[in-house]
Amino acid sequence: MKECIILAGGFGTRLQSVVSDVPKCMAEVAGKPFLRYLFDYAANEGFNHIILSLGYKFEIVISWLETQNMPFEVSYVAEEYPLGTGGAIKLAFTKVKGTEAFVINGDTFFDLDSESFLEFHREKESDISVALKPMQDFDRYGSVELDDEQRIIRFNEKEYKKEGLINGGVYIIAKKLFSKLSLPEKFSFEKDIMESHIHGINIYGHRLDNYFIDIGIPSDFEKANVDFLGK
213 vs 194: CA distance, rounded Å: 22
133 vs 109: CA distance, rounded Å: 12
- Whether 159 is covered by a domain: the verdict is no
**For 192, which DSSP code?**
I
Q: What's the confidence (pLDDT) of residue 57?
A: 87
Evaluate whether 152 touches 165 at the Cβ level (below 8 Å): no
164 pairs with which residues across the strands?
A: 135
Of 157, 131, 130, nearest to 142 by C-alpha is 157
- Whether 16 is covered by a domain: the verdict is yes
- Whether 218 is covered by a domain: the verdict is yes
95 vs 75: CA distance, rounded Å: 7
42 vs 110: CA distance, rounded Å: 11
Q: What's the confidence (pLDDT) of residue 21?
A: 75
133 vs 166: CA distance, rounded Å: 5
36 vs 141: CA distance, rounded Å: 25
Residues in the chain: 231
- Whether 162 is covered by a domain: the verdict is no
Residue range(s) defining the domain that contains residue 10: 3-130+167-186+211-227
H helices then E strands: how many in the chain?
Answer: 7, 13
| Contact partners, residue 54, CB within 8 Å, separation at least 6 | 8, 9, 23, 61, 62, 76, 77, 78, 79
Q: What's the confidence (pLDDT) of residue 17?
A: 54
CATH classification of the domain holding 25:
3.90.550.10
| Contact partners, residue 214, CB within 8 Å, separation at least 6 | 105, 107, 108, 169, 220
Evaluate whether 53 touches 6 at the Cβ level (below 8 Å): yes
pLDDT in tens, the chain (231 residues): 999 999 998 665 555 555 667 788 898 899 999 999 999 999 999 999 999 999 888 999 999 999 988 999 999 999 988 899 999 999 999 999 999 999 999 999 999 999 999 999 999 999 999 999 999 999 889 999 999 999 999 999 999 999 999 999 999 999 999 988 988 999 999 999 999 999 999 999 999 999 999 988 788 889 999 999 876
Please name the amino acid found at residue 209: D
78 vs 211: CA distance, rounded Å: 30
Evaluate whether 22 touches 16 at the Cβ level (below 8 Å): no
Q: What's the confidence (pLDDT) of residue 93?
A: 97
Q: Is the pTM of this model over 0.95?
A: no
Q: How many domains does the chain have?
A: 1
